[in-house]
Structure 1
Amino acid sequence: MNQWVPVSPCGVDCVPSTPRASRLRIGMRCAAFGLVAVLVLVVGLATILLPRRARHGYWRASARLTLASMGVRLDVDDRRPRQARRVRGALIVANHISFLDIVAIAAVAPARFVAKREVLQMSGFGYVARLFGVLPHVRGDLRRLAPMIARVGEILDRGRAVAVFPEGTTWCGGAAGRFRPAFFQAAVDAGVPVLPLRLAYAEAGRPATLAGFIGDDTVGSTFTRIVAARDLTVTVTVFALQLPVPDRRVLADVCEERITGLERGPATWSGTGAARPRIFSR
């Protein structure tokens, strides 16, 4: 295994068995998702010629409709001043739990996403990822890291938002990995702020890990758990913009502490793929 590729210890043990929705409800959600996906893609192609603000409005509405079709409720806790909620040229960073994270973030702040190259190779979801403008990143290839950071910086410099997941891989949501500082350099170079977001999933009001894309999960197995949930909610907490201080490590630490709600202890990462888990205490 490449020592520079982040590894999460989360797996099947993190997802306990929970009561499932009825077969009828699951079938209806699958049908609704299929219909919405086709509608979003077809209409989305026609929005290319629209002004950016109109496109962003469309993608926010489409993302919310996609979540609803899967039976997922969206709860947004926006802690920014009302007059400071328009996102332009900001680096969006969030903890990473599921491929559903991209949809949840798009419902709040549409952006170009940086994701591992394998995401674009997933059947079905890969096409949707390309339509959302996902930027493929080859994890662990240090030769391609600097050009990708420069590319993200150029997009930010043009006044557009880019979203990254600094953990580098998905965790179950009950624990999290350390934020790696590499992509924070793009915000430093472009002189743009960083917008931290926290993603949390709950079922019937209790923290849930069933949406996690972890371990040996496939898109299909995670999708099945999501549509079979009785009452799944994703909460997106939006924090205040962070100014791009010159030290990217300090910037990463500040955003990590804001998102996890935990103070950062001494770093123990030594270049291996493993990361010391941090347990959420929300």
Structure 2
Amino acid sequence: MSLLRYVLRLTIALALVLLGLLIIATAFPFMSVRAKAIANRKWSRTLMAACGVKILVRGEPVLQAPVLWVANHVSWLDIYVLNSVRATAFVAKAEIRKWPIIGWLVAGAGTVFIERGQRHAVHAVSEAMRLRFDRGEAVGLFPEGTTSPGYDVRPFHPSLFEPARHLDVAIQPVALCFMHEGRRSDFAAFVGEESLMGNAWRVLRSRSVVIEAVFLPPLVRQNDAGEVCTRVALATRAHAMVRDEVRRGVDETMDPAAG
């Protein structure tokens, strides 16, 4: 049954991917920002449903104004989970552009790629983020810089908090909590040397992958002295909020041996 489920879901997912690539190549150049956002959100929701991934949303996501969403990073699924809530332009490492299919899709959807190690990379990405904020868009950031099994959260890199801080754009922490068969699990995590196809095989054949997206309150911009927080202080505060939510209940429910 798992093989049949995998084949059916893979067939539908590939059809959706081809449709997405066609839309990006032919329609996106002529669509407004709002129309692109609607298409992106609906397509992402349909893709996650086709992959058998159930999304639960808690909290109050910022849906209208420009916002920087900062989230922990567990899998390639994270991008589409957040896009299912609101169309989001992500900041991603340049290597993702080279991923088959997914790289093409996220590039066409307006992802901002950062060339790590390049002298002017942060400045170039900051300018691209400012442009998207000026258009009232949401920008997504995974400040850990890499994926993790999802039981804890690595420290956040603060540099790309600066554009939102400087422009007084809301910074909203988001905790992504992965579950499998009713328990917290690393079953769907995309970590280490695993291939994208290997991870997709595991996810698409499963019946019970659930991802809970917890939208925490936007960060308070001032410290106790009434001064505007530095980007380091904001990153530290966001990390603490996300980590507390991610670790909530892990000891009681996690399934390290899943998969």
Which bin holds the TM-score, normalised by the shorter protein?
A: 0.7 to 0.9
- Are the counterparts in 2 of residues 192 and 243 from structure 1 also a CA contact under 8 Å? no
The answer to whether 1:55 aligns with 2:33 is no
Q: How far apart are 1:159 and its partner, in Å?
A: 2.3
Among candidates 5, 17, 22, match of residue 37 of structure 1: 17
- Are the counterparts in 2 of residues 261 and 280 from structure 1 also a CA contact under 8 Å? yes
One-letter identity of the residue aligned with 2:21? L
Among candidates 213, 221, 231, match of residue 248 of structure 1: 231
Tell me the equivalent position of 2:254. Answer: none
Tell me the equivalent position of 1:186. Answer: 163
How far, CA to CA, are the matches of 2:165 and 2:109 in structure 1? 25
Tell me the equivalent position of 1:22. Answer: 2
How far, CA to CA, are the matches of 1:209 and 1:35 in structure 2? 28
One-letter identity of the residue aligned with 1:280? R
How far, CA to CA, are the matches of 1:58 and 1:243 in structure 2? 32
Once the two structures are superposed, the pairs formed by residues 59-208 of structure 1 within 5 Å of their partners are 59-77=40-58, 79-80=59-60, 85-208=62-185
Tell me the equivalent position of 2:256. Answer: none
Q: How far apart are 1:230 and its partner, in Å?
A: 2.5
Q: How far apart are 1:249 and its partner, in Å?
A: 1.1
Tell me the equivalent position of 2:224. Answer: none
Q: Of the two structures, which has the highest relative contact order with CA contacts closer than 8 Å and spacing of 6 or more?
A: 1
* More displaced 10-residue stretch of structure 1: 42-51 or 54-63: 42-51
Give the 3 Å change call, closer, same or farther, for CA 258–156 of structure 1 in structure 2: same
How far, CA to CA, are the matches of 1:208 and 1:201 in structure 2? 6
What are the Cα deviations for residues 146-190 of structure 1, in whole angstroms up to 9, with x where unaligned? 332233233223322211101011111012201111111111122
One-letter identity of the residue aligned with 2:247? F
Q: How far apart are 1:140 and its partner, in Å?
A: 3.4
- Are the counterparts in 2 of residues 90 and 193 from structure 1 also a CA contact under 8 Å? yes
How far, CA to CA, are the matches of 2:217 and 2:248 in structure 1? 21
Q: How far apart are 1:139 and its partner, in Å?
A: 2.1
How far, CA to CA, are the matches of 1:238 and 1:54 in structure 2? 24
* More displaced 10-residue stretch of structure 1: 125-134 or 35-44: 35-44
How far, CA to CA, are the matches of 2:157 and 2:103 in structure 1? 25
- Are the counterparts in 2 of residues 171 and 213 from structure 1 also a CA contact under 8 Å? yes
- After the TM superposition, which parts of structure 1 deviate over 4 Å for at least 4 consecutive aligned residues? none
* More displaced 10-residue stretch of structure 1: 234-243 or 180-189: 234-243
One-letter identity of the residue aligned with 2:244? G
Q: How far apart are 1:46 and its partner, in Å?
A: 2.3
Among candidates 257, 264, 267, match of residue 240 of structure 2: 257
One-letter identity of the residue aligned with 1:222? N
- Are the counterparts in 2 of residues 87 and 109 from structure 1 also a CA contact under 8 Å? no
How far, CA to CA, are the matches of 1:187 and 1:243 in structure 2? 13
What are the Cα deviations for residues 76-109 of structure 1, in whole angstroms up to 9, with x where unaligned? 11x22xxx74232211111001111101110012
- Are the counterparts in 2 of residues 157 and 190 from structure 1 also a CA contact under 8 Å? no
Higher helix share: 2
How far, CA to CA, are the matches of 1:141 and 1:171 in structure 2? 24
Q: How far apart are 1:47 and its partner, in Å?
A: 4.9
- Are the counterparts in 2 of residues 26 and 227 from structure 1 also a CA contact under 8 Å? yes
- Are the counterparts in 2 of residues 153 and 189 from structure 1 also a CA contact under 8 Å? no
How far, CA to CA, are the matches of 1:49 and 1:192 in structure 2? 28
How far, CA to CA, are the matches of 2:29 and 2:211 in structure 1? 28
What are the Cα deviations for residues 17-72 of structure 1, in whole angstroms up to 9, with x where unaligned? xxxx6211111111111112222333454255344333322211111100011111
* More displaced 10-residue stretch of structure 1: 166-175 or 136-145: 136-145
Q: How big is the alpha-carbon RMSD for the aligned residues of Structure 1 and Structure 2?
A: 2.0
How far, CA to CA, are the matches of 1:114 and 1:159 in structure 2? 16
Give the 3 Å change call, closer, same or farther, for CA 151–36 of structure 1 in structure 2: closer
TM-score normalised by L of structure 1: 0.79
Q: Identity over aligned residues, as a percent?
A: 26
One-letter identity of the residue aligned with 1:68? A
- Are the counterparts in 1 of residues 20 and 105 from structure 2 also a CA contact under 8 Å? no
